Amino acid sequence: MTFSELNLIEPLLQALQEEGYTSPTPIQEQAIPPVLNGDDLLGCAQTGTGKTAAFSLPLLHRLHEAGPAHPAKAIRALILTPTRELALQIGDSIQAYGRHTKIRHTVIFGGVGQVPQVEQIKRGVDILVATPGRLLDLMNQGLVSLKHIETFILDEADRMLDMGFIHDVRKVIAQIPAHRQTLLFSATMPQEIQKLANSILRDPVYVEVTPVSSTAEKIGQKVFFVEKTYKRALLKHLLKETGIKRALVFSRTKHGADRIAKELSKAGIAAQSIHGDKAQSTRVKALSQFKNYELQALVATDIAARGIDVDDLTHVINVDLPNEPETYVHRIGRTGRAGADGLALSFCDDTELPYLRDIEKLTKQTIPVEEEQPFHAEYQKLPLGGGKATDKLARSGGGNQPRGPRGGGQGGRPEQRGAGQGHNRRPDQRQGSSQGGGGNRRSSGGNRGPKR
Ligand code: AMP
């Protein structure tokens, strides 16, 4: 797939060539056609997937095609993003992609004087990139009007929520005309964001991408071979002896998460578990304690962890290895954000060796084995050639596991299924709906957000 196959206008194609982009990323491939078509979009994607271009390119295309603003100098598109850094990055991208068009934009954020920002707006901009606080401030002073917004883009919605901006976001949205195109991007889809999406999107196309191997590349990884019986002891050892200030700990099951948290607490390590059986208020409280460094360990199941976005998280510890290798990449992607150092430590017992092999195959990386630990078990990694591990309990036959517990099984993995690991999933089955056929096809099926 090339950018010209996405039917983008020549000035954009030229800029992309100058930027050295040869082909669209998966999110661009999926999002550009429906956005060009005028559809609403719900995008589950992290930074690093190319999402900025995924919304900026079709936006610039549509504004260019529509010609000059009516009335002159009206703001036609609003991009709301949680931080100044993101706002500036988006501004830079729009500048780069739109350099051969006449589309004008500006970026506004708090913490600096408002005068130059207001002057820019007065001169007339087509696209306004803003953080919510400063925007509301200028709106309240009557210096910005959103009356003519045709396209509204909410970026990093889950971070808006985490940073406590969601109320401001809603206030801004209330001032945008209802008849508009809306795009919402979020790395995770906690319930609150799903609710917001339901209330502001009309029959959206849903796109989801996960930066599978690229995430793993930035993060230090180690695997600890350890018998199942000693996993909790090893965890205590790491948390007590190695100076880890804060770790997100993953457990495959809710029961396991509870047991781990309890045992850590008994050992004097501040820990809480979060999973689907816990009340929302309990989860929120645990998460905020974790963020404030009041907890050293937050023990989570995969589903519960989806809403967690802690910026400076340094350690992820997998007490169990997930049987889906993509889940591993999702888990460790919680750390090492925004250039911070990240370390992912994974415990692997003999039954999990096939999962380890699948992970190494997917990420195309060898995860070094940490032998300098008190509970080291002498396992051998499985050869990479083997087929993918199934859901069934892995067999320990074949002479690869000199010692370690046998049998017992790990039981079902209640939280594993349906954890939304599918790539580029479109539950709405509207694949290609944007290309053929004129106009905005909006069926009456109501909201088409992600199933949860
Ligand atoms: P984003 O996820 O929007 O923050 O983009 C991540 C990085 O990927 C940015 O540095 C972009 O400039 C770059 N990028 C976005 N799309 C492409 C593409 N199609 N080809 C090459 N690089 C890209």
Q: Report whether pLDDT(421) > 80.
A: no
Q: What pLDDT, on a 0 to 100 scale, did the predictor assign at position 174? A: 97
Question: Is there a domain that residue 449 lies in?
Answer: no
* Ligand 1 nearest atom to the CA of residue 49, by list position: 2
Residue of 25, 28, 47, 57 to mutate, ligand 1, most atoms within 8 A of C-beta: 25
The answer as to whether 129 is a domain residue is yes
Q: Which of 45-49, 136-140, 201-205, 422-426 has the lowest mean pLDDT?
A: 422-426
Kindly state whether residue 312 falls inside one of the protein's structural domains: yes
Q: Say whether both 30 and 133 belong to one domain.
A: yes
Tell me which range, 87-101, 375-389, 411-425, is most confidently predicted by mean pLDDT. 87-101
* Whether residue 43 has its Cβ less than 6 Å from ligand 1: no
- Residue 398 has a pLDDT of 34
Phi first, then psi: what are they for 30, rounded to 5°? -85, -35
Q: Name which residue sits closest to atom 8 of ligand 1, judged by CA.
A: 50
Judge if 199 and 235 occupy the same domain: no
Task: Tell me the Cα Rg of the chain.
Answer: 24
The pTM assigned to this predicted structure is 0.56
Is the pLDDT score of 278 beyond 70? yes
% of the chain surpassing 90 pLDDT: 59
Q: How far is CA 195 from CA 221, 419, 450, in A?
A: 36, 19, 11
pLDDT at 430: 32
Residue 404 has pLDDT above 80, yes or no: no
Q: 187 and 220 share a domain? A: no
Are 253 and 143 found together in one domain?
no
- Taking 80 as the threshold, does the pLDDT of residue 410 lie above it? no
Pair (39, 180) in one structural domain: yes
Answer whether residue 412 is part of any domain: no
Do residues 58 and 168 both lie within one domain?
A: yes
Domain check: are 333 and 372 in the same one?
Answer: yes
Q: What's the 251 CA to ligand 1 centre distance in angstroms?
A: 33
Ligand 1 atom, smallest distance to 25 CA: 19
Question: Which range among 38-52, 169-183, 310-324, 385-399 has the greatest average pLDDT?
Answer: 169-183
Would the pLDDT of 435 be above 50?
no
Beta strand extents in 243-380 (DSSP E only): 247-250, 271-274, 297-300, 315-318, 343-348
Check residue 162 and give its pLDDT. 82
**How many other CB atoms sit within 10 Å of the CB of residue 310?**
16
Please work out whether the CB of residue 15 comes within 6 Å of at least one atom of ligand 1. Answer: no
- Tell me whether residue 346 is in a domain: yes
CATH number, position 367 = 3.40.50.300
Helix spans in 73-150 (H): 84-97, 115-123, 132-140
What pLDDT does residue 431 have?
A: 33
Whether 281 maps to a domain, the answer reads yes
Name the domain count of the chain. 2
Same domain, 124 and 241: no
Domain interval for residue 67: 3-210+420-442
Q: For all residues of the chain together, what is the average pLDDT?
A: 82
Same domain? For 186 and 311 the reply is: no
Lowest mean pLDDT among 72-76, 198-202, 330-334, 352-356: 330-334
- Domain membership of residue 168 (yes or no) is yes
341 and 299 assigned to the same domain: yes
pLDDT greater than 80 at residue 241: yes
Same domain, yes or no: 121 and 15: yes
Ligand 1 centroid to residue 268 C-alpha, Å: 45
Whole-number pLDDT of residue 353: 97
Residue 405 domain-assigned (yes or no): no
**Looking at ligand 1, which residue's alpha carbon is closest to its atom 1?**
50
Tokens of 416: 């594993």
Higher pLDDT, 274 or 79: 79
Higher pLDDT pick, 10 / 395 = 10
Same domain, residue pair 80 and 228: no
Residue bearing the bigger pLDDT, 271 or 111: 271
